[in-house]
Amino acid sequence: MVDGDGPTGRCDATATVAAGDTARGAGPEARTEPGPGTHSAPETHSAPDAHSAPDARSGPGVRPGPGVRTGPALVALAAAALVAVLDGTVVAVALGALSGELHAPLTTVVWVMIAYLLAAAATLPLLGWATARFGGRAVFLTGLGLFLAGSLLCALSGSAAQLIGARVVQGAGGGLLEPSAMALAARLGGARTMGRVLGVMSTVVNVAPAAGPLVGTLLLRTGHWQWLFLVNLPLGVLVLAGALAFVPAARPDPAAPRPRADVRGLGLLVAGYVGVLFAVNRAGERGDGGWPVVVGAAGAGLLLLAGYGWHALRRGPTPAGPPALDLRLLRRRGVGVSIAVMSLVGLVMYSLTTALPVFVASHHDRHGLAQGLLVSAMGLGLLVSMSTGGRLSDRVGARPLVRGGAVGTAAALAVFAATADRLPLGAGFALFVAVGLAFGLTASPTVAGLFRTLAPAEQAQGTTALFMAIQFAGSLGVALLALVRQRAGADWPALEFGLLAAAAALLGLLATRLPGRP
């Protein structure tokens, strides 16, 4: 991260899921044979009632079949998610170096990040249909293949324009890779251990924010920026081998009708979402010259999304398949509030990972690796609490854990907002370890509760909506706080971290509406 006030003060698509990007699920893909003691519910091809809460333990594909080695499969899937998130954090710290190596201005090189973000946003709405049509492992392998091909093209690029184009390919794969990995992991874990599995996945993914700045700096010290992308290839090949060996190839029922793509809905949804996300990510730029573009993109995107809403509600589920994103699910008890909670999780997480390095540089005059010190402190806390929170949610549910974690996060951020200007860096490190410990209790329990609320055939739809909301809310928070930073002068930490404390407090209020004990 070069300058949080400028365009580099933003996370790419995969970086948001450090806390909240466990938020994706599996689609209706399974003819996997049930394991011992598991009873398969009869399959139906009619659309589920959006107002009733189905039993997430029933239905095909919830549990792995006999002979599936769940442990090695989860290792492969967690490694895939880690590679995707680590790539985003590594590239974020290298934008200044890339600007010099490619002889391009930073305003051009920042598109290395934005292109990835928008490409990932464009493929995300395809997740539900592709999972239902081809199966979860096929979607995962496709995402991995595109990600690795894009990484190779990035390393072979000779100009900023070529690198930006290669990042589009890489982002298209990354937009499918991590969500499909999380979906497959949730399916392997089953409903009774959903929180435990997602907690482990979240813990592994959260190595990336802590390790990314160090890895990026070490790779740049080789003198060859291409290693920022080449490092993905051996890691990706190991993930591929593990996935082929251990992740079960559950396929859709060949006797069931194959769902047809909602082409019109996908077109409206993708174009509208990408337009709005582009506008939000450009809104935090310095200067006022780009506002006509921002307003135009936002207006066009909102109109397209409104058109999608009209199309989806009018079309509804049909024998040929559901709309690209079934908005009726948002009225289901537990679904809408889970998405709202995770949106605030994304907003707080995105904002902290971009604001903290700027604070360390501006108020403590630390740069390079030291600039990421407070982010690493928060990452340490997250590593401890995420797996614990996920495991506990299998017994006590999401509500008490998320509420307690949100209150603790709000209190710690309020203390930092009040004392940031005079707090020693060492004390700040300890405080953000506490922030991570508290904040780590919010994401995995919420997502596990959501998965239990949705039937297997609905999970891809529900988690697509969830991740789109997280990505949008996180980008919106970063853009708004960048504007605050530009206009508040030297006192910006008190205002900015105070606003984030208020967002965490609101998260705690919403948590009272989450589902209770499983």
pLDDT at 201: 81
DSSP 318: B
Look up tokens 């853009």; give the residue. 479
Encoded tokens for 281: 């990510």
- Mean pLDDT lowest among 253-262, 344-353, 415-424: 253-262
> Residue 185: which pLDDT band, with cuts at 50, 70 and 90?
confident
Q: Has residue 57 got a pLDDT over 70? A: no
- Mean pLDDT lowest among 41-50, 74-83, 214-223, 447-456: 41-50
pLDDT at 254: 65
- Mean pLDDT lowest among 7-11, 278-282, 321-325, 389-393: 7-11
Is the pTM higher than 0.85? The answer reads no
Give the whole-angstrom CA distance, residue 466 versus residue 337.
10
Q: What is the arithmetic mean of pLDDT over 43-63?
A: 42
* Per-residue pLDDT tens over the stretch 130-169: 888 888 899 999 999 999 999 999 999 999 999 999 999 9
Sequence-ordered alpha helix ranges (H) in 221-334: 227-230, 232-246, 263-283, 291-315
Q: Has residue 46 got a pLDDT over 60? A: no
Q: Has residue 436 got a pLDDT over 60? A: yes
Q: What is the arithmetic mean of pLDDT over 407-428?
A: 96
Q: Domain 15-30+59-511 is classified in which CATH homologous superfamily?
A: MFS general substrate transporter like domains (1.20.1250.20)
Give the whole-angstrom CA distance, residue 138 versus residue 249.
8
Give the whole-angstrom CA distance, residue 31 versus residue 47.
18
* Per-residue pLDDT tens over the stretch 307-352: 999 998 887 666 666 788 888 888 888 899 999 999 999 999 989 9
* Per-residue pLDDT tens over the stretch 438-477: 999 999 899 888 888 888 778 778 778 888 898 899 889 9
pLDDT at 419: 96
The residues, any chain, with a CB within 8 Å of residue 158's CB and separated by 6 or more, are none
Question: 492, exposed or middle or buried, with CB in 10 Å at 0-12, 13-18, 19+?
Answer: buried
Could you give phi then psi for residue 321, rounded to 5 degrees? 135, 165
Highest mean pLDDT among 39-48, 254-263, 418-427: 418-427
pLDDT at 44: 39
- If one compares 242 and 486, the residue with the highest pLDDT of the two is 242
Domain extents in the chain: 15-30+59-511
Mean pLDDT rounded to a whole number for the chain: 82
* Per-residue pLDDT tens over the stretch 487-503: 888 889 999 999 999 99
pLDDT at 27: 37
Q: What is the arithmetic mean of pLDDT over 105-130?
A: 89
Highest mean pLDDT among 271-275, 286-290, 368-372, 465-469: 271-275
> Residue 270: which pLDDT band, with cuts at 50, 70 and 90?
very high
pLDDT at 20: 40
Give the whole-angstrom CA distance, residue 121 versus residue 175.
7
Q: How many beta carbons lie within 10 A of that of residue 97, not counting itself? A: 17
Residues 354-358: contacts with CB within 8 Å, 24+ apart? 354/1, 354/4, 354/9, 354/10, 354/11, 354/478, 354/481, 354/482, 355/4, 355/9, 355/481, 355/485, 355/496, 355/497, 355/500, 356/432, 357/1, 357/4, 358/1, 358/3, 358/4, 358/5, 358/9, 358/485
- If one compares 512 and 285, the residue with the highest pLDDT of the two is 512
Highest mean pLDDT among 26-30, 66-70, 245-249: 245-249
Q: Which residues pair with 321 in a beta bridge?
A: 318
Distances (CA, A) of 390 to 193, 197, 281, 438: 9, 7, 31, 13
Look up tokens 């466990």; give the residue. 22
